[in-house]
Amino acid sequence: MLRTSIFSLVLLSLVAAGPVDDFESRVTEFKLANGLPVLVYADSSAPVVTVAVAYKVGSNYEPTGKTGLSHMLEHMTFQHSDIYKPGEFFRIIQANGGVNNGFTSGYYTAYFEVFSREKWELGMKIEASRMGRCVFLDSDFASEHQVVAEEQRLSENSPSSVFWTQLTAAALLAHPARNPTVGWADDVAHFTTDAVRDWYRHFYSPSNALLVVAGDIRPDEVRAKAEQYFGKYKAQPVSLPDFYNSEPKQVGERRMMVHKVVMQPSLAIAYHAPGIFDSAFFASVVAGGVLGQGRGSRLYQRLVVDSGLATSASAYAESERDPGLFWVSVTPKAETLIPRIERIVYAEIGRLGQEPITDRELQRVKNQVVADYIFSRDAIMWMAIILGNYQLTQGSWREFKLYPEKIGRVTAAEVQSFCRGFLTADNRTVGTLLPIAQEEK
């Protein structure tokens, strides 16, 4: 009990005063002559180094007919370059004791390697090769296209994946986040080697990328190797569209159902929510914490603990940059309970909009945000990814430092205002995933 109280006091002081230490002194920022921005996060707590490169292209930038192309390109960059042939990439990583991965999001595609201190230069060499020396052969494409097509097919065979994909597409009419990152099936089926090569040539440029190196490393070492491996590439202007205000105002509730062979039904409600540059964004994060983050949240208590109508309940804001969606997700114990659960959800949202949050409840949510912030800094690999994410989606890695401070300034009145302005009947899309018997399939 004493330990919990002390921890709460520490978190309380952090919300008021900011992070545990000023990690800003650990970060060095510079740019190469070809326009490649570089971030270095120095942390000698472990003799490891993460090298990460991200490109400002993801599923949000894909036109109709080319959804999933960024993800397809991600797969292809592991196949063939001037320093690795098909099948060699992962063997090189493993032979040198490293780990690696890549992922595609709406706003960017990222790759990273983690090596011991003495092997970190290999990460620079690999990523520089990926940036400008990838080779795209029809034979390599054919095999990897089958892998990606199978991944897309598996997503369509997953009831949960189908449900969330269809619901997101129903909630968003214009913003490209309505498209799945892996792409729609017909688009994926019609990918070609030339299309992937053209996408690569257009977007994989130093001036459209970000290099992040984090770990037991000095900034001067990174600068020297960045110049050596990446400085040879020429800048290529890339024009990126802005989708921030692309979604039209919703003018009435939407509903959709998905029928699949599942053990339990699902209920999900999507409200349009503010983006990170809107004043209400941080209030939306706090509202999600009050309504549905953890066992002490209002929806969990009402739906799982008190009434026993559901086995889980959560709520959260999902805006990564542009205005996005605020989600309420519930797993009902039975399909017949859904109407009753909906009424409770709407009643709790209404209460949050009308009655000020208690200081204790508000502080609980803020404490959890700061705790997540602290724990996210435990792994150097995640620091590289987090700093890169903030740099690319919010314009500066410094926003990561400011995040708990901005959450700490959210007031009960701002949470009320967010709920009354955004969590309304006309602004929601309601989806249900309902079980069907195997023979009805």
* Whole-number pLDDT of residue 138: 94
* Whole-number pLDDT of residue 440: 53
* Whole-number pLDDT of residue 118: 96
Residues of the chain with CATH 3.30.830.10: 23-230, 254-440
81 closest CA partner among 72, 71, 90, 89: 89
The per-residue pLDDT for range 407-421, each reduced to its tens digit, is: 999 999 999 999 999
- The single-letter code of the amino acid at 13 is S
Task: Please list the ranges in the chain whose pLDDT falls under 70.
Answer: 1-22, 376, 437-441
- DSSP secondary structure letters along 298-364: HHHIIIIIIS--EEEEEEEE--SSSSEEEEEEEEESSGGGHHHHHHHHHHHHHHHHHSPPPHHHHHH
| Check whether domain 254-440 has CATH 3.30.830.10, yes or no | yes
* Whole-number pLDDT of residue 23: 80
CATH topology classification for 23-230: Cytochrome Bc1 Complex; Chain A, domain 1 (3.30.830)
The per-residue pLDDT for range 81-134, each reduced to its tens digit, is: 988 888 889 999 999 999 999 999 999 999 999 999 999 999 999 999 999 999
CA dihedral over 130, 103, 318, 388, signed as positive or negative:
negative
Against a cut of 0.85, is the pTM above it? yes
Which tokens sit at 393?
Answer: 């989606």
